[in-house]
Structure 1
Amino acid sequence: MKQLLEIILVAVAATTNVPSQPLGSTPTEVEASPASAAPVAAVQAPVLIRRDTPVVLMAISEVSTATAAPGTRIKLRVQQPLLIDGRTIVPVGTPAFGTVVAADDSGGLGKSGRMTARLQHIRLGDAEIPLDGEVSAKGTGAGSAGVAVIFTGVVGLFHRGNNAKIKAGEILSAFVSEDVMLDLTSNPIKRVAPTTSGAPQ
C-alpha cells in the first residue's frame, strides 16, 4: 500500500512540471521571417508621351547667320516641364537640339540675313524624343554703313544688312512628332517599343 501511494505521488509531481495550455488552444505558429513578410515592390509601367504633345524650349546661346551655316547644331533646353497625369516626365533644363537648315548672310545694299532652323529632339537619358517644329529668323533692315569704290572709280556709300539671329533666351515652341514610350525605371532612361494592348499613361 505504501509503495502504491509513493507511485501516485511521483506521477502527480511529474504532471505539475508540464506547462499548462488552455483547453481548445492550438500550438503557437512560427512567425514569418522578415524576408517572407516583406511586401513586393510595385513594377512601374512605361510612360507614353503622345504625338503632338506641346513642348516649350529655350535657346541656350545665340546663333547668327554671321557664323552659322546649314548643318550648324543649335543647343536648346526644355523651358517648361512635360507632365503626364500631373507627373513630371521631362523636367525643366533637359537638353534639346535643333539644326540650321538654311542660312543666308547679310550683304551690301541693305540685304538682310535669313535663317531657318529645325527643332529635332529632346535628350532624356538614353532616349531621344523627336520633335516637329521650325523657326525662321530675318535681319532687321539696314545695318552699318560703309564706303565702296565703284568700278568707275567713284567713291560711294553702301549699307550692310543685319544678320538673322536666334538669340540666347529666345523661347521656341515645338510638338512631339510621334508616340514615345519611356521606361523610367531604367538608368539611364530608355525608349521602349509601344505595347500592343493599349498605351499606359
Structure 2
Amino acid sequence: MLAVLTGDFIGSGDWSPGDLDRAHHALAAQADRVADWSGGSTAYTRNRGDGWQMVLHRPEMDLRAALAMRAVLRVEGKTFATRIAIARGEGEVPGRDLNRAHGPAFTKAGHALDAMEDEITMVHTSGGILGAATLFADALSFGWTPAQARALAPMLAPDPPTHAEVAKALGISRSAVSQALAAADYDHIARALDAYEADG
C-alpha cells in the first residue's frame, strides 16, 4: 500500500511562467526532503502545467507530507497555494514516473481533486477520522503567512531540528522562529500529527 498526493495550484491562471517554475521547484525540493523521512523516493512529478503529484511509501505520513508541501509553497508568497487530494491504496510507478503510474490510489486521488468543492482545499479519500483530521488541517494551514510557513517547513519533519538550528538556517533570531511557530499553532500540529500517525 502507498499514499498518493495529487495537487494543483490555486489561482495559477494569474501566475507568470516564472511563478509556476518557482512553485514546482519549491515542491520538488521539499519532496526530496520528505523522501528522507518517508521511506523512499516520492517520485515528485509535474503534470498539466499547474498540477503535481507525489507518492509516499509510508501512508501514515500522508498528512504530514501534505502540510510540508503546503508550507514550503506558502514561503514563496501569500498568493502561492495548492489544493491537495490524498488517497491510500495499491499502485504502481513504472520507472519512478508518476505520469505512467496506475492503480486505485492514483485514480482515487485524481477523482477527489477534480471533485473538490471550492471552499475545501485539502481532502483525504479515506473519509472517517482521516478525512476529518485532513479537513481540520486544511482550515488551519490555509491561513499560514509566509513567515509562519518558513519556520514551519523544517519543523514538520518527524524528527525536527531545534528552534536554534532553524533560526541559524534562516538567518533570523531564535525568538522570531518561536513566535512564528506559536502563531501557526505548531505545538498542536506536532501533537496531532504524532497521534494521527500512531493510529495508522
Q: TM-score, normalised by structure 2?
A: 0.24
Q: Which has the higher helix share?
A: 2
Larger Rg belongs to:
1
Instruction: Report which of the two has the higher share of strand.
Output: 1
TM-score (norm 1): 0.24
